[in-house]
Structure 1
């Protein structure tokens, strides 16, 4: 019976698993023949068979290993499905760092596209593992151990061969194999020694135009007098393939069409061949504001290096326009702390920077920020205010609703086949109303509006669809629909705006403008850092692709434009061109300064309320050099400080550490420091910093200043920088290591006034007016076992021997289980050296990810807790 059930559940798993590709293809509306789908389906089934065999033979050695391997593999497989659906690309191993970022998880990973499919796959797989383990009971008692090891080696080698033979095209391979292959080869081919690499003197000519802006043929009449406002509307992930006019012009078919642009087509310049140079919002924003390539790999974005390199900073577009008398504003629908866009935009020269906190109304609840309709509607008042100041203005907007998992109203989700298309249509309708607002506004006749995308979330059946961007210029002095067929990218926006604002002043500046046509093609580079592909083109319609395996391909479009319905793709062997493309990529991606510091926050003031948590920063995705110490430092100040006012700072890293420090408002040292050693180079390193204030008046707000948050890197042999040695250190605790976490107070939280954490890791309870207080935490993982919880404290008043003082309990699985609970009187406490000790024994029958200890008040108390700890029996 067990063998039959094992075979049945394994068969159901194989069939269900293989159907995932068909679900994804249907969701993405691909048109595939049986021949196209046959090879990747066979590879999918082979992957599933090898996984089942691997788990079966692992089960002969240990009954838990099959579950660990199987669930990990399926989670990685599901994550790839979601990423392919959202971005038309596979995951890179470097993207695993996103998993540790709670802002990313909250915004992007809390919605799944195929829930029924995922549930069925997991159920059938776990069922097969259960019965496989039953069949393996005898082997675990000593039978066939040697044979099991041999089979495991063979299976693992087979998996390794399949990974090495895969390429990074998900349409031809199993998603996991392709993703692993890509990640491994990206790491292997990563160039690290940028500084010692030789770059020829003419390298700029190989990647940028040598022409001057004014050498192009002017598409506009610049005779129009008066101020020229500039509005850039940046739309999250939208490719140019969604523009109906572009589809018609290039003879490209796409099921999604944004009809809102029909309202502006009679006064527009459309750029069909528009490139986003890389993925990720911060890279796209930097590129068009700086007039520069972003880095073409996954290393620290240039935006962070720009903020730190104050001595050599070139002026970005906002500052250049400020110098010409413009007011400037940056307004986005998402929170500003993620990727430190608030700090970068201030460094770039924007006078006003507004994020999701500036939008009180939402039409659709969405973790990333404000939905598109609510964003555009509420932005109108900001633009009206900007326009009322009597000076020309420059504003940049950024939507977020078309970011996975998409902000979609229920009626749109019912109307369209998938959430992605529904989100685009919702954006389209919202944009249509916003265009109506612009056309009826006081600034309608003297404003240039640029509609662009920050990145591309991919286009089906396009070899570089993840770099197909959108760019449309709309202004009253544009007559008719004009198609500029030259190739442009994000880096050309800055020059284009300057050309529009003052064509005479900037005509001799090197570069290209979308408001002009040029007689010859210009070199351009772009990349998709998630899969390691780098593209290079010097002739429109002919693109060279260098993949992560160092394979070189020539891609020729059928229509001789950059984007086409059909392409000819052939592998070529040209070592010289391979080396050139790698050299150009490294030149663009090398650090933009020699400064070993990244300034995450220069200066920011927060208005805070007691006991509320505030995100200070997240999502930096930095590159950490090898063999170096990494320092995270910042200054803090509580304005209008009073005694009894304090802050708890919590730093979470992607190494699984949660680090805390509570500081008193009256403390003289207002500099916090965290330091660790980094052995191997890491890309995509990120950390989160949270702040929780506490003070007695829970109704009022106070101001907290955070200044000079810097991440710095030092060689392992160097000493600490001056100023760091006398800083207050964070209290470092490692998740899941209850043996080394001696005092858990930094992890604890309190409720009600009169209950505080202090900077020297104590908890003060002065609850004379209340018995409804609570001390709770630490929400750390504890393995299965028996423990003793201990509270050590001083009583500052006298109490009766049998008088109830407080109750301790242990909570597991988010409060659904209470393994232990006990009320304490003075008689129940141990007394040692002036301290009272309350002990509570508890047992966990399984591993728990978020154990909570709670101290409930039974009466008003005046006490000081000096230690909260656990010991394992």
Structure 2
């Protein structure tokens, strides 16, 4: 014990343990996770060296919070990469410090629990030595010690420029280094704009991205013979999980996590080079169902923007099929109100929109985000049976949720697989196979066009472009080629299904038809994992990172295992890539200013006894809104308890990038039938706001009616125009009736 005490109280014990916490532990984690790019270790050395300089000889009560924050960021970054195959962005940082979100997302446990144990152990040892050696005088660092981490950072940047790498960001940066670098790049961009004055870059040609192209040779000589349409969107599944895609593109990744779906793929048409344009479910659904790119940034989703339109929404797939005699239905395994799917889906043409509340049978698993996949597909099979009893052809869109973090799988699956993520994918594979088998036994596949795809990709470690790699498996009554050559994406799905039936395709749609062969390539874009990607259709693939630095390659298609590196560039040429994305972002609205959204309705919303989660208990769909600099936002709400003898308690929160925004909003206000909550709230937007969300929470007995929840953003000197709110209220009542 005396020997241990002497070692703990040695003047060098605390500095050595500090080095262990901020240098050795991160590099051990990087080595254990197989993140082997030397630039990543250099990044760890630079950040770790800076922390040593800053915290050496500082009081323990000052250093401990910094080390705790450092450990949490490191763990959060690793967990997010494991979960969805991408590094956190600044918006995710705010997301991850919200305790309720963290609680829901980690309810299934950490992907790498030993990492947290190792970090806590290192912190505990440092704290012990720091406390034990507090009477000792720790030696000072050399005067210019700060120069070492600066030199390491400069070396990191120089090596990046000299030796461009295709490695994922987490292989090259640790999180604080990435955030600092992004801030420097943003400053450089502002400085360039200041020096260049009012110079405006020319807008690049957009026709290749926005036009409807039905000039290819048809695969089918006659209109498709299917009577019904079934679109199945699987949460987060990348294209690499299907063996047909792996065989076509021959990637290094060969793990067969979905053997049953891969067997079905042998019976249908597969598109290996299939592009997902963005992250986030609502954006993926919009692209596939409305034939348009969603925002390639964090702006207001176009599905929400479309709520203000009465023309473009009629060109979406469900509306078009409804005009051609189909009954149209949307069924998902989660609640509908988050991201306003309860309003968006009817607006784009679904006759019936149903969510988690539709399922009455007990679930096989408790899952915070919704129904597990087996429960969902068993319910979906019953729903198809109901549709079959009607005389009309039908279109049904299904959306799963079980392969969303923290992943849903029974214990026997968890024991068979290495991780909860893999177990959830295996569970989905079996559930989907049972569903398709049930359709086949009932003869439904004989007259139904089935498209199986995913809303987004949760990515795969060390697999090139996995975050943009989707899949499209089409099962049709007619024989189709097993492999569909060419580059396609979600933006093509609506035009493809309409073209299958030889229906007229609205010219407002973008994209090509999967049921045609094209002699030339096509232009296409995506924004995933923090990288903006563009293929010009002529053999050049470009990828621009958060540093506004673009690398370009020779690549026949978009998704490929390898591409020939040709060089890199920045400046005006890189800005033209961003300009394409900006132009695509404005296909519905030219500006987020003067937008008027109504999220209220006449629906009766049952209340939980208590509020446990800002996300799963949210009662309104006003999420991810965009508010320009210098504007003012007005929120008008009217909430009433439905039953005369029941009271509800209502709170309203505002979040930007999922971080609470300090705005004077109602908290735990008692609401009855006779005394509704009626409020008008105004707040200024001195800086641009993106990913701005309202979370309306309520608890009590009975149900409430949110007859008005309108959000208006306009210039502060505009005169009040109450007619806007009156018109939106009338629209809401008309839609609900």
Whether these two folds match at TM > 0.5 is yes
Q: Tell me which moved more, 72-81 or 435-444.
A: 435-444
1:578 to 546, 552, 574: 574
Deviations 1:812-865 (A, max 9, x none): xxxxxxxxxxxxxxxxxxxxxxxxxxxxxxxxxxxxxxxxxxxxxxxxxxxxxx
Q: After TM superposition, give the deviation of residue 446 of structure 1 in Å.
A: 1.0
Q: After TM superposition, give the deviation of residue 429 of structure 1 in Å.
A: 1.6
Match of 2:92 in 1: 95
CA distance in 2, matches of 1:175, 1:10: 19
Q: After TM superposition, give the deviation of residue 623 of structure 1 in Å.
A: 2.4
Q: Within 5 A, what are the aligned runs for 1:136-215?
A: 169-182=169-182, 185=185, 203-209=205-211, 211=213, 213=214, 215=215
Distance change (3 Å), C-alpha of 1:590 and 1:540: same
Question: What's the TM-score once normalised by structure 1's chain length?
Answer: 0.72
Match of 1:744 in 2: none
Structure 1 spans left out of the alignment, 5+ residues = 26-31, 695-700, 727-873
CA contact (8 A) 2:329 2:352 kept: yes
Match of 1:456 in 2: 457
| Structure 1 residue matching 2:700: 3-state secondary structure | strand
CA distance in 1, matches of 2:47, 2:94: 25
Question: What's the TM-score once normalised by structure 2's chain length?
Answer: 0.84
- In the alignment, is residue 671 of structure 1 matched against residue 678 of structure 2? yes
Match of 2:328 in 1: 328
Instruction: Give the aligned length.
Output: 690
Q: After TM superposition, give the deviation of residue 117 of structure 1 in Å.
A: 1.9
Q: Within 5 A, what are the aligned runs for 1:400-439?
A: 400-439=401-440
Deviations 1:376-402 (A, max 9, x none): 112111121122221111111111121
CA distance in 2, matches of 1:676, 1:278: 30
1:660 to 659, 667, 681: 667
The structure showing larger relative contact order (alpha-carbon pairs under 8 Å, at least 6 residues apart) is: 2
Match of 2:396 in 1: 395
CA contact (8 A) 1:56 1:133 kept: no
Deviations 1:402-433 (A, max 9, x none): 11221122222222222222222221122111
Distance change (3 Å), C-alpha of 1:693 and 1:262: closer
CA contact (8 A) 1:90 1:178 kept: no
CA distance in 2, matches of 1:411, 1:441: 30
- In the alignment, is residue 617 of structure 1 matched against residue 620 of structure 2? yes
Match of 1:525 in 2: 525
CA distance in 1, matches of 2:103, 2:455: 21
CA contact (8 A) 2:533 2:544 kept: yes
Q: After TM superposition, give the deviation of residue 101 of structure 1 in Å.
A: 6.0
Distance change (3 Å), C-alpha of 1:124 and 1:52: farther
Between Structure 1 and Structure 2, the one with more strand by share is 1
CA contact (8 A) 1:91 1:179 kept: no
Match of 1:630 in 2: 633
CA distance in 1, matches of 2:628, 2:224: 52
Q: Tell me which moved more, 561-570 or 489-498.
A: 561-570
Deviations 1:594-637 (A, max 9, x none): 55335262415234368455530368122232233333322223
Structure 2 spans left out of the alignment, 5+ residues = 1-5, 161-167, 612-616, 727-737
Match of 1:755 in 2: none
| Structure 2 residue matching 1:514: 3-state secondary structure | coil
Q: After TM superposition, give the deviation of residue 302 of structure 1 in Å.
A: 1.1
CA distance in 1, matches of 2:543, 2:667: 46
Match of 1:18 in 2: 27
CA distance in 2, matches of 1:182, 1:566: 27
Deviations 1:121-162 (A, max 9, x none): 1231243145336656688xxx99xx9998897689679868
Q: After TM superposition, give the deviation of residue 680 of structure 1 in Å.
A: 1.7
Distance change (3 Å), C-alpha of 1:368 and 1:230: same
Higher gyration radius (CA): 1
Deviations 1:784-805 (A, max 9, x none): xxxxxxxxxxxxxxxxxxxxxx
Distance change (3 Å), C-alpha of 1:254 and 1:604: farther
Distance change (3 Å), C-alpha of 1:245 and 1:87: same
Distance change (3 Å), C-alpha of 1:46 and 1:157: closer
CA contact (8 A) 1:375 1:399 kept: yes
Match of 2:254 in 1: 255
1:112 to 110, 113, 128: 110
CA distance in 2, matches of 1:465, 1:89: 10
CA contact (8 A) 1:487 1:540 kept: no
Distance change (3 Å), C-alpha of 1:303 and 1:505: closer
Distance change (3 Å), C-alpha of 1:58 and 1:662: same
CA distance in 1, matches of 2:409, 2:292: 34
Quote the RMSD (CA, aligned, Å): 3.6
Deviations 1:35-61 (A, max 9, x none): x444433542443343244222443xx
CA distance in 1, matches of 2:464, 2:370: 31
Q: After TM superposition, give the deviation of residue 469 of structure 1 in Å.
A: 0.8
Q: After TM superposition, give the deviation of residue 669 of structure 1 in Å.
A: 6.0
Q: After TM superposition, give the deviation of residue 474 of structure 1 in Å.
A: 0.6
